[in-house]
Amino acid sequence: MADHILSATNISKHFGGFVALEGVDFHVATGERVGLLGPNGSGKSTLVNCLTGTLRNDTGEIMFLGERIEGLVTHQRIRRGVARTFQIPRPFRSMTVLENVEIALLYAGHATSREGHTDEAFTVLDQLGLRNHADMSAGQLTQVDLRKLELARALAARPKLLIADEAMAGLSHAEVDEILKLLFQLNGAGISIVMIEHIMYAVMKFSQRIAVLVAGRKIADGDPQAVVKNPDVEKAYLGE
């Protein structure tokens, strides 16, 4: 793999006496597809929140494109090229699909007004297969199209790294394949992607490497087939 686009070292986060993360190292190479796994409460969301600036890590450093970013707030990290989707899509439901993407362009600093980048917004919608829904209210979208809109809003940031946080939750097998195809296309266009997902079929199909968190600590990191056969990983998911 090429040089790391993201490198987080010794990341810890405590909430009072609760240890959410402890000494976690996590990296992503340029163009890499990484799966991030762990049972509920393992620290995956906390790690993502530290990487994207929603939370400040207590210890450790986060490097992105060779520069430290842990002191930057969320919108500054977005404008550097770190974007994410959320487990529960929360578009502006009273706005159209197109307007939602225009707002994302504005927030990411790529537009001076909502009207200024309509062409780029349409380009993003084309990439996600949503152009035909451009004038539809976001509140009218199906579940799979809501997931596509969530990806579109992240893509509007022109990310170099995309963190897809349970982008397929609640979807049918066919819809999961639809989202997977889009993520492969985005990766093929040069975007490094971290996938956080409970659908193992999707993670195994997509990931070139898998890291596993349990109780705030990383217990495995490597080839997907080797990681899922790791005794510590089996114990975390299946018990003794």
Domain chopping of the chain, boundaries: 4-238
The helix/strand/coil state of 163 is strand
Low-confidence stretches of the chain (pLDDT < 50) are 1-2
- How many residues are present in the chain? 240
**What's the pLDDT at 2?**
47
**Is 94 exposed, middle or buried, given 0-12, 13-18 or 19+ CB atoms closer than 10 A?**
exposed
**What's the pLDDT at 117?**
80
The CATH class of 4-238 is: alpha beta
Helix pair 97-107, 143-155: axis angle to 10 deg: 30
The Cα–Cα gap between 131 and 215 comes to: 42
Q: What contacts 14, CB < 8 A, 6 or more positions away?
A: 20, 58
Give the alpha-carbon dihedral of 29, 79, 54, 58, to 10 degrees.
Answer: 60
**What's the pLDDT at 116?**
63
| SS3 track for 46-90 | HHHHHHHCCCCCCEEEEEECCEECCCCCHHHHHHHCEEECCCCCC
Q: What contacts 25, CB < 8 A, 6 or more positions away?
A: 8, 9, 10, 11, 218
The Cα–Cα gap between 179 and 175 comes to: 6
The Cα–Cα gap between 111 and 187 comes to: 24
The Cα–Cα gap between 10 and 26 comes to: 9
**What's the pLDDT at 75?**
92
